[in-house]
Chains A and B, each alone.
Chain A
């Protein structure tokens, strides 16, 4: 009886350990993506401060967030602000690509691992 319990405990411990590992990896990746997004926004605004598309999309995000605040978090406005934020990021990436005169790096798992683990996260900024 004791053996069964200890086996189950061991299994539970392993499962918890694996989940913790997955959570750690997810947190690290989320942090890396957050830094990359911040670096992208800083970079495009610093390099192309007069780009109207950027300011318009930022304005839409600001307006939608204002609407969320005024409507005390109405689901429709929350959805709108989420869409506006994604659109803003897309516009920023498009502006970055538009003015980038170098080839894009082909995305691969190895490059992602290398970038996350060995490169300075703010390098692109």
Chain B
């Protein structure tokens, strides 16, 4: 008996596994048929919504052509108001006229006294309102857009007289009505007064209805907009409800399919296992294969994207979002920056620059330091691509004969991977920040930068004086960078030195930390504040000279109000205070840091003279960019900086400055000033027989920027998949 039961269960499982597809298919077919009932009207409504959006936009354009200086709201509101008034008056007139005709013909019945009274009251108010509106429109006292508003000269005078007459008649009619009502209350005869009121009211009603109708007919575009908007809203609401129903059906279908799959799984596994034996093959047992069904209502879901209910005209007018320049304002697409690094400076700065929200790709050009960086526990989101070539890629490149030298092969691979990453993300205006030791600016690096420039990608280079001075190597590198500047591949090279006054005062490590904050602020600036230029725009603003220098100063700033319970925690773990920004102190400390960076010799990262030429200051403040105080800080510092120096532009970034640890406050503002370098430092100066590298030469050859890397149409916003 137990064997029989076990065999029955096994048979049931096999049977379920065998008919699973059919069973799921039947359920899917049934639910899909029901969904079709919803899907057809849902798609029809969507078409109507799209068509209505286009018609509304067309009607708006027609109205705006007629009344170019009037706000859209008034263009629609006023004609609709006149139409409502006309409707009320006409309805009242219809009822009253119907009653009078009944009276004349001797019929009884008709509307109740209450209904007639109510309608007469409404009509009376509508008549008065219409007369007043016409008067004010004609005198141009309203922001409305009606034919009355455009009346001039004689026509205007006639209209004013008519509107005033209408108002006077309304007041007279209300006076007559009041007196007649009083006399009726006292039991006196009201025959003559009633006749006068009827006459006045009749006149008024015709006048007001004609005026209101005239505006309503003249502004039929507005009535159309109103009606279509109303209908579109209702259609959209019904469409959303239908989509919800389709979604429910789809989820039901999936749930049932999942339940059946669960029950049939054991039978399927057993059967497919049996089918692997030779005897099963001889008996022509076939493994179970299942179809997958498309989601119910998938077509209607695919078609309902938010962009589809935006009018075609508006879609055309939208900025693409991935262009640096759009009608004068800077529009940066996210993740269009690649950080490349090589050498000790690159290895020191890469961890600080990698992992921000703005960077698409990052990598080491130098394979020797790849391992060190990979061991650095970089917490890079998966969306950030690494450009560091793997050993397999490197071996393949060397084996294929594409490059004979390892460094050339690495540079070529990095370039290819970078361009591929930009193309994949749909970036149109990408750029590169290369952080490198000067002695590593060799033929391979130059080739990489030229290759990138050929694809429309400009690079900003940050480089450091070699620790061991090798004049020839330095001069060769400086010559290459100057040539790259002349070819418009590198708009600027920022020079720093480990023997600069800043490094002597605070140490080389502190200099690297400050430099990382300065570069990071330049890179992320446009993402913190829309008005900030990108690092390439900053570089181009300074590109009258191929080289630039940095001056940095920091100041601690204290919190205004600490987090309520944080003081208790501080006592336990000896932490620094945490709280909200004191705007006045942050502004004051920024102004002081700006003064220090401009005037103090210790602020220089190169050892140059105080700057006199084009200056760009980056203020890094520990305020979140979505904090309302951030914009107040920007305004205050911009005002304060106006008196600091001529030819000074200020940009802003959200982040903590790299100040020395301070137990009183962990918050620090940092001001980094980037400025043109008039003459090169002595370590980069050529011997007398090579004077061309010692001074900054005027630019002799600048090729226009190439159109850019390819832009796939499928992903125009530059976001990574």
Q: Which A residues contact B (CB, under 8 angstroms)?
A: 46-47, 90, 94, 97-98, 100-106, 111, 119
Contacts and interface: CB of A to CB of B under 8 A. Distances in A.
B164 to A, nearest CB: 43
A101 B622 contact: yes
A106 B561 contact: yes
B407 to A, nearest CB: 36
A119 B627 CA distance: 13
A97 B563 contact: yes
B601 interface: no
Interface in B575-620: 575, 578-581
B579 A104 contact: yes
Contacts of B580: 103-106
Nearest to B559: A103
Contact of B581 (A46, A94, A103, A119): A103
Contacts of A100: 578
Interface string B553-573: 000000101010110010001
B667 A103 contact: yes
A104 B559 CA distance: 9
A36 B624 CA distance: 17
Contacts of A104: 559, 563, 578-580
A12 to B, nearest CB: 27
Nearest to B572: A94
B654 interface: yes
A102 B623 contact: yes
A46 to B, nearest CB: 7
Contacts of A106: 561, 580, 629
A87 to B, nearest CB: 12
Contacts of B643: none
A111 B563 CA distance: 17
B666 interface: yes
A94 B666 contact: no
A119 to B, nearest CB: 8
Contacts of B578: 97-98, 100, 104
Given A101-B667, A105-B626, A105-B627, 10 more contacts: A90-B565, A94-B566, A98-B578, A102-B622, A102-B667, A103-B559, A104-B563, A104-B578, A105-B580, A105-B624
A58 B2 CA distance: 49
Interface residues of B, number: 25
From B559, B578, B579, B623, residue with most partner A Cβ within 10 Å: B578
A104 to B, nearest CB: 5
Contacts of B641: none
A47 B579 CA distance: 21
B624 A102 contact: yes
A47 B563 CA distance: 21
B384 to A, nearest CB: 15
A47 B623 contact: no
Q: Which 9 A-B pairs have the closest CB atoms?
A: A101-B656, A103-B581, A102-B622, A106-B580, A97-B578, A105-B627, A94-B569, A104-B580, A103-B622
B622 A47 contact: no
A100 B624 CA distance: 11
30 contacts: A46-B379, A47-B379, A90-B565, A94-B566, A94-B569, A97-B563, A98-B569, A98-B575, A101-B622, A101-B655, A101-B656, A101-B666, A102-B624, A102-B654, A102-B656, A102-B667, A103-B579, A103-B581, A103-B623, A103-B627, A103-B667, A104-B559, A104-B563, A104-B578, A104-B579, A105-B580, A105-B627, A106-B561, A106-B580, A106-B629
Nearest to A106: B580
A113 to B, nearest CB: 13
Contacts of A111: 628
User: Main secondary structure on chain B at its contact with chain A?
Assistant: loop
B624 A103 contact: yes
Most B-side CB within 10 Å, residue of A46, A94, A97, A103: A103
A46 B381 CA distance: 11
Contacts of B565: 90
A102 B579 contact: no
Nearest to A105: B627
Nearest to B580: A106
B306 to A, nearest CB: 15
A106 B656 CA distance: 18
A106 B628 CA distance: 9
A44 to B, nearest CB: 13
Nearest to B557: A103
Contact of B566 (A97, A102, A105): A97
A89 B627 CA distance: 24
Contacts of A97: 563, 566, 569, 578
Interface in B668-693: none
A116 B655 CA distance: 24
Contacts of A102: 622-624, 654-656, 667
Contacts of A46: 379
A105 B561 CA distance: 11
Interface in B627-646: 627-629
Contacts of B626: 105, 119
Contacts of B656: 101-102
Nearest to A101: B656
Contacts of B575: 98
B568 to A, nearest CB: 10
Contacts of A103: 559, 579-581, 622-624, 627, 629, 667
Contacts of B581: 103
B573 A98 contact: yes
Residue in A94, A102, A105, A119 whose Cβ sees the most chain B Cβ within 10 Å: A102
Nearest to B583: A103
A34 to B, nearest CB: 21
Contacts of B573: 98
Nearest to B575: A98
Contacts of B566: 94, 97
A105 B625 CA distance: 10
Nearest to B623: A103
A117 to B, nearest CB: 14
A47 B380 CA distance: 11
Nearest to B668: A101
A97 B577 CA distance: 10
Nearest to A119: B626
Interface string B16-41: 00000000000000000000000000
